[in-house]
Amino acid sequence: MRVLLLGATGLTGGLVLSELLRRDEVESINLPVRRPLSLDHRKLHQQEIDFDCMDDNAGLFQVDVIICCLGTTIKKAGSQEQFRKVDFGYALKAAELGQAAGAGAFILMSAIGSSSSSTIFYNRVKGELEDAVRALGYSYLSIYHPSLLLGDRREHRLGEALGVKAMPLINRVLVGPLEKYRGVEAATIASAMVNEVCSLASEAAAEQVVQIREYREIVELSAQTG
């Protein structure tokens, strides 16, 4: 299984990379980066690229599966326009290049509440991306809809930090239809994604498959053994 990973410097993406490196089913990992990671491994092929010119590196996308964990915040991006450029523009371009190069599967990190008709800017951009990637017609598309991500981030986000502290208590009352809003460990999402990738090595989709992964499915996928 040849995999391309986007967003390896983020919380979830970094954990996905670690999981991919230790799995025998994964033959190689293409890693487009702005700056190389201080990591060396026989499976890993890092390539410094200008994300505004991804077409110049189309060969990187000749893989079986693309995992997209790209994501930023409006504060970090500097504006809504720049946020959309990263979360929508870069992710969609990667999906387009992958499809053109013959990738059969795309696994997308999105968010609970994503909808192209949402009045909330963040959710609307995520939803528009989902719609655009669906329209590309990948044989296998899996979209992850986590709520609050739990884990140690490199950068401090005050609102999220407060939410993380309260989440263990809040999770207990989020049951039934509300279960999908439970906070979930980034490591759980990473394990679920990599388990899903590895399962594709032995399963060929007879027709187009689109999966939406919410809290319960993410937890169950993460617990599967290869």
> Rounded to whole angstroms, how far apart are CA atoms 84 and 70?
11
Separation in Å, CA 128 to CA 35, 70, 117, 132: 28, 15, 8, 6
Element (H, E) at 186: helix 186-200
Separation in Å, CA 153 to CA 68, 156, 164, 194: 18, 7, 11, 20
Q: Which of 90, 126, 140, 215 is catalytic?
A: 126
> Rounded to whole angstroms, how far apart are CA atoms 107 and 125?
17
Q: Which residue has the tokens 């387009």?
A: 96
Q: Which of 43, 85, 93, 122 is catalytic?
A: 122
Spell out where the chain has E strands.
2-6, 28-33, 44-48, 65-68, 105-109, 140-144, 149-150, 184-185, 209-213
- Does residue 122 carry a catalytic annotation? yes
Element (H, E) at 82: helix 80-84
- Does residue 126 carry a catalytic annotation? yes
Please report, in angstroms and rounded to a whole number, the separation of the first and last CA atoms in the chain. Answer: 14
Phi, psi of 146 (to 5 degrees): -75, 160
Supply the residues annotated as catalytic.
Answer: 122, 126
